[in-house]
Amino acid sequence: MIHQLHALLEGSYEEMVSIRRYLHQHPELSFQETKTAAFISDYYQNLGIECQSNVGGHGVVAKITGSKPGKTVALRADFDALPIQDEKEVSYRSTVPGVMHACGHDGHTATLLVLAKNLHELKDELEGQYIFIHQHAEEYAPGGAKPMIDAGCLDGVDVIFGTHLWATAPTGTVQYTLGPIMAAADRFEILIQGQGGHGAQPHKTRDAIVVGSQLVVALQQIVSRRLNPLDSAVITIGSFVADNAFNVIADKAKIVGTVRTFKEDLRSFISEEIERVVKGTCLAADCTYDYKYFQGYPAVIPHNEETKFLIECTKSVKEVLVAEEIDPDMTGEDFSYYLQKVKGTFFFTGAKPKNDVHTYPHHHPLFDIDEKAMLIAAKTLGTAAVTYHNKYSSTQGE
């Protein structure tokens, strides 16, 4: 069965590339993916695969039922793009100004669609059910995963597998962790209210820029001096905005940043520490403030048994040269919600473009992938799904 599936996938590789390039040329932003969702639905309907649209928003869920009883395995791919101008000089460059698939979600979608098509061809030999979750809005919290789960996409699911094409890891590499693989991603906003005035008369003002500058430095001490050195966390200031006249002292300044953690208790602790620092700094400068903290996606924490099972499955994929354990990454992913609901794992599939002098990271205007990585991802996910049935279906009902 596994050899048959791999052969079908190899024969469908060009279709996978064609789908990915079409999607790359026609990206849509989070919560706006109407045409992409329709493309996915049409693909399944044309194959005669059971499909449900508008799941939790623009989500699409397809289902294949094998001829034999067994477990229910879910596979997930996301399909939203980013507000980035595509600067690549390639034939499949984005045709939408200021919007680009700069994270590989087009590749995720092409991978899952073609894998579903090939599994459908083998359905008479399959056990159990296969659920294909095509998720909208991964890039922008509150994201698409939670509303899709609330709408029932995981109902009856025993296990879920997902991957992210990883453009900074060599093609042929599968990367995993035993423990968290991606961080919780939170956001905060601080509005400092001082008293503006003439740049030549600072003694008559309360300078919001000076207070904000002190905060930028002081907030870094939360990680370096308030946390256990064995705990990982990041506080990054991404935006600092104030008045821009050269001879005016600003009366207000806005600071926006992100917090990344792996432990739930650290999220609330850091939120409280940020406000403590803001309150003290503003009090000393006789300024007022408004502080908001927004919890984003939780940390992505794969289940160890399913991760070890997945790594065993990679041994059946000839294109996987290395399966390696890595350090967790501080980026975020709402796949975390699926893993809070059911057992499963999430891994990176190396997709570093070959013959490139520079490797451009995710969310970069020149981002691209080695499309061969899609075949590796499809084989790995397909092998895990089919093998899971073979290994665990006999225990169903126990």
Active site residue 121: no
CA distance 321 to 172: 5
Instruction: Say whether 363 counts as a known binding-site residue.
Output: yes
Catalytic-role residue among 138, 158, 186, 306: 138
Instruction: Say whether 287 counts as a known binding-site residue.
Output: no
Instruction: Say whether 105 counts as a known binding-site residue.
Output: yes
Contact between residue 190 and residue 271 where contact means Cβ atoms under 8 Å apart: no
CA distance 115 to 121: 10
Catalytic-role residue among 28, 33, 80, 127: 80
**Nearest one of 332, 230, 226 to 271, comparing CA atoms:** 226
72 CB burial (10 A radius; 0-12, 13-18, 19+): buried
Q: Is 69 left (phi over 0), alpha (psi -120 to 50) or beta?
A: beta
CA distance 18 to 156: 33
Please state, in angstroms and as integers, the Cα–Cα distance from residue 371 to each residue in 114, 211, 234, 267, 363, following that order: 14, 48, 32, 37, 17
Phi, psi of 101 (to 5 degrees): -80, 90
Instruction: Say whether 272 counts as a known binding-site residue.
Output: no
Instruction: Say whether 164 counts as a known binding-site residue.
Output: yes
Active site residue 80: yes
Binding residues for Mn(2+): 103, 105, 139, 164, 363
Binding residues: 103, 105, 139, 164, 363
Active site residues: 80, 138
